[in-house]
Chain A
Amino acid sequence: MSAAQAVEILLVEDSPDDAELTLRALRLRLANGVVHARDGEEALRFLLEGDSPPPRLVLLDLKMPKIGGLEVLQRLRADPRTRTVPVVILTSSKEEPDVAAGYALGANSYIVKPVEFENFQEAVARIGLYWVLLNHAPR
């Protein structure tokens, strides 16, 4: 993980397979600036303890060892530095309680990972384009 250049997207994902597929899909359209945190703990360390400016987007998986996605989200929203960072939950869970909890804690969007790769690729690429290129968030 390197903060040498401006980070546009922080991908928080424990599954190496999903991470690689997501990173590939993102890099298809967006050049660089994607950082991968392998679990919630690593994500929090990067977001709250480093001195780099917050990313333009956090792509957050829910079910992760140690610190889960919902807890990461809660901690981000509780911290003034990351209170307004756009967070998109990208998860396998279609369960209604997860969706409700995600929005209640201040997620900006909730996307269920499509199983078919082509759909998945398309979804991830669109998320990246929308939040990094189209969306205007407070800095």
Chain B
Amino acid sequence: MATHPKPRPFGAAYAAAGLGLAAVAYLAARQPPLPRAGRALATAAAAAALLFPVLDLRRRRRGAEELAASGATLAEVLENVRAAVFIKDAGGRLLVVNREYEKIFGRARAGLLGRTNADFMSPEAARALMEHDAEVLRRGEPVELEERVETADGPRTFLALKFPVRGPAGTAFLGGVATDISALKDREARLAELNQELAAARTLLQTVLDAVPASVYLIGLDGTLLFLNQECARTLGGTPESVRGRPIGDFFSARDAAAVLATNRAIHEGGRRVEVEEPVVSADGPRVYLSCKTPISLRPADPPTLCGVSTDITARKESERKLADANRELEAFTYSVSHDLRAPLRAIDGFARLLVQEHAAGLDEEGRRMLARVSANVERMGALIDDLLAFSRLGRQELRESAVDMGALARRAAADAAAGEPDRRVRLRVGAMPAARGDAAMLSVVWTNLFSNAYKYTRPRAEAVIEAGGDEGPDALSYWIRDDGVGFDPRFAGKLFAVFQRLHGADEFEGTGVGLALVRRVVERHGGSVEAEGAPGRGAEFRFRLPRRRP
């Protein structure tokens, strides 16, 4: 922004000088005892004023009284004007000053006239002013310049018009009119400061935006890129300077650009921030961007624009696609396991039994016993396959979230387990427990496995005790079940939850080693954790925590 005053038209300088001279003539006449030089100057000034073309006095050819009267009026103005008016002789001694001059230096006229600037200023300040004076006299023409002046109120800045005046005898004088422009200068300085701050803020903003590894931009509804960061320019194959102000159609294919514009218009009409996935061919090739776009209007009169932040999610989309592929493969694998492994088992079992049914006569007791072992193993393998499939299915299933009455699930699981072993004596206590949020079917798998384990491993007890309950913490819900069964060696606690890991032989306690793995998978899919405590012969306690979820 321009802070320097424009050079004034030369004519205006002359006018001011003429005005000044007329005043000087009047003032000189009214000065208290004037030195001779002063009186001569007054006469000269009056003559010069008369001759000054701008005032156009000559053409009017007025009488002396008339002229004096007119000068008196003008002098009155100059006496009262808010600018210092003065005349010095060639030696720098003040011959004429006006009231403002007195005020500026805090001195009465008597203390100024006949003195030089050096008499009431520091030598340096006075020298600077007097150098200006000498320069004006040397050049012989009016000069406008800024001067630092030591006033009664401290150093101030003046805009001074200084002009040479020549007496009839050829004596050189210097006239001047100086206006205090300190306030203006201060405002200029403040403005410069503000401009600097503004520039710094802009730089900061741009630096921050350029550091963002995403495209940040302002775009008009017509597709013009009004503002953009470095990353945005890079993906468009340019620089912020080369891209700004251009339509996106210059950078994208017609189809991509039309799609983006249509999306933008819809978002603008919606009036709310929207996240959209935008597949486009950018300077990086075919990419998918996740764009968060917000309709904004900086000023009501501005055309509607959107502020966009677009992140390249091509890699994420690619891994999502791969994950989906892997899941589909797993699905296919699960399917063939379920089908292909079951079929031969059925054949083994079927023909073994047919052998017993139809050829019993040809088999002795041992033969029949062996065939029974074949069937028992088939049954076991069938159970393994079913559990494995259930385990794999649990990993893939979507969580269907709802409020879950954990107490009801636990009581039902306990009842099922009890029904499976009707002859057992078990003291069962299912206490109060907090409701959870999660997939009810999956959480029911947790309780079913935990209660079935508790019943299984308390079988040696004549009368077993199985208890379950839950507590509510600030961040998590915790549930527990404990029994007084055979327990386990805590050194192997970590193995309990792994698939197909068992701490007991199948002849001791039946099972496939999948139940607790299922428990852990369900709990972890709910964002929780599970742990077990126990000692051989002293029972076991299982505890799982679920984070609190909001609906």
B343 part of interface (Cβ distance < 8 Å): yes
A92 close to B342 (CB less than 8 A): yes
Q: Is A46 an interface residue (CB 8 A)?
A: no
Judge whether B382 is part of the interface by a CB distance below 8 angstroms: yes
With an 8 A cutoff between CB atoms, is A93 at the interface?
A: yes
Say yes or no for B334: interface residue by CB 8 A criterion.
yes
- Are A94's CB and B389's CB within 8 A? yes
A118 near B346: Cβ-Cβ < 8 Å:
no
Interface residues of A in 59-110 (CB under 8 A from B): 62-63, 91-95
Chain A residues contacting B353 (CB-CB under 8 Å) are 117-118
Write the nearest CB–CB distance from A43 to chain B, whole angstroms.
18
A113 beta carbon closer than 8 Å to chain B? yes
Q: Per a CB cutoff under 8 Å, which of A24, A94, A95, A117 touches B349?
A: A117
Measured in the bound complex, the distance between the Cα atoms of B375 and A114 in whole Å is: 13
CA distance A93 to B336 in the complex (A): 9
Q: A91 CA to B334 CA in the complex, in Å?
A: 15
Within the assembled complex, what's the spacing in Å between the Cα atoms of A127 and B349? 20
Could you say which of A17, A63, A95 contacts B346, with CB atoms under 8 Å apart?
A17
Chain A residue, CB-CB nearest to B347 = A17
B-chain residues with CB within 8 Å of residue A21 when the two chains form the complex: 346-347, 350-351, 354
Interface SS of B by simple majority: helix
Nearest chain-B residue to A14 (Cβ)?
B343
Chain B interface size range: 20 to 34
In the complex the two chains form, is A92's CB within 8 Å of B350's CB?
Answer: no
Q: Mark B316-360, 1 if CB is under 8 A from A, else 0.
A: 000000000000000000110011101111110111111000000
The reply to whether A116 and B342 form a contact with Cβ atoms under 8 Å apart is no
Chain B's closest residue to A16 (CB) is B347
Give the contacting residue for A18; candidates B335, B346, B382; CB below 8 A.
Answer: B346
Given contacts A115-B379, A115-B382, A116-B382, contact A18 B338 (CB under 8 A): no
The residues of B that contact A92 with a CB separation of less than 8 Å are 338-340, 342-343, 346
Please state if A18 and B347 are interface contacts (CB–CB under 8 Å). yes
Q: Which residues of A contact B334 (CB under 8 A)?
A: 95
B349 touches A115 (CB 8 A): yes
Q: Which of A95, A115, A121 contacts B345 (CB 8 A)?
A: A115
Q: List, in ascending order, chain B residues with CB within 8 A of A131's CB.
A: none
User: Would you call A32 an interface residue if the criterion is a C-beta within 8 Å of the partner chain's C-beta atoms?
Assistant: no
Report the separation of the CA atoms of residues A47 and B209 in the bound assembly, to the nearest whole angstrom. Answer: 71
> Beyond A17-B346, A91-B339, A92-B338: 11 further Cβ-contacts under 8 Å?
A18-B343, A18-B346, A92-B339, A93-B339, A94-B338, A95-B335, A95-B338, A115-B379, A116-B378, A117-B346, A117-B354
A–B pairs, 30, beta carbons within 8 Å: A15-B347, A17-B347, A17-B351, A18-B347, A21-B346, A21-B347, A21-B351, A24-B354, A62-B339, A92-B338, A92-B339, A92-B342, A92-B343, A92-B346, A93-B338, A93-B339, A94-B338, A94-B389, A114-B346, A115-B345, A115-B346, A115-B349, A115-B379, A115-B382, A116-B375, A116-B379, A116-B382, A117-B350, A117-B354, A120-B350
B residues near A, CB below 8 A? 334-335, 338-340, 342-347, 349-354, 375, 378-379, 382, 389
